[in-house]
Structure 1
Amino acid sequence: MWEEIVPLGYQGSYQRVRACFREKRLSPGPVTARPPSPRVVAGWILRRPETLTETDHLRLKAVLVHCPELDALTGHVRSFGQTLTERQGERLPQWLDAVIAGLTLPWNSGVVEGNVNRIKMLKRQMFGRAGFQLLRKRALLS
């Protein structure tokens, strides 16, 4: 770095640049909380909101702010849960319409699931025999 900045006009010593980088390298980085796992978030969504602790409620709210699709899903899950627990059978036709649409419309994730299944099968065949490069080659050639 020193060799790069001297032609640009830096007049300090090599040791000063070295000390600056050493200080940066050894200083503790910003402490950030690890994001919750998908399993934990699913647990928060599936539980009744009143049973969540204040901390879990705030963490779920933070996740939902960053993902509008997950926020919409949470609304649907809780609505369906309320239909089941409060025995609101009159709301069932709305849900059946959604199920019928899901079963009859042409959009699905079958192709993606098929590829995932094929790659997992290849991985099981090669278990313990090779690394990522061979798996990649087999996946691309099959």
Structure 2
Amino acid sequence: MLRVPKYRASLVDAYHEHLRKRRAENPGVPVLHLFEEIKALAFTGCLNLLHKYINQGRADADRSHISPRRLARILLTRPDNLKAEQHELLAKLTAACPEMIQLASGIRDFAPLLAPHAANADALSRWIVQVRGADLPHLHAFARGLERDRDAVNAALTLPYSNGPTEGVNTKTKRIARQMHGRAGFTLLRHRTLLG
């Protein structure tokens, strides 16, 4: 996944539409011909600037780009919470290559396991076997991590109990202690925790 390039303004930007139209008509048109055409349209830059502009792909048709963060958010969002255009974008992106199809199906198959159910331990085993069959090294690493602590993962996926509230209190206590820069003792920390 490539990030969207951000370019500074260029003298060639004013002739972008002309260059795009000419390259759409004849993709093999020499750069020197394009340079002469835009020179006649009052272009003041040099040939090297035009070469750089074209080599960066800026004269081609606009392609929609998506950041890795946005793609991850779309992949991890529940399908019923996605808007219609996000569904279309997800369908286009997952159809782009076999790895994306495997990644999307792996995520879709793992998501139901997060709701505690007694059969989730067996479903997790099947999911790990499925992921190992795919050529996705990052998912392999995730699956290895799940297997390393399999007892805790099985408990989290099958039992209705959670230590989330306890972890939340720990995080809140540490945040309060950091805000006080270590200047207060236990009594003030206790007071702020109970009141906050």
TM-score grouping bracket, smaller chain normalisation? 0.3 to 0.5
Report 1 or 2 for greater relative contact order, CA contacts < 8 Å, sequence distance ≥ 6.
2
TM-score, normalised by the number of residues in structure 2 = 0.35
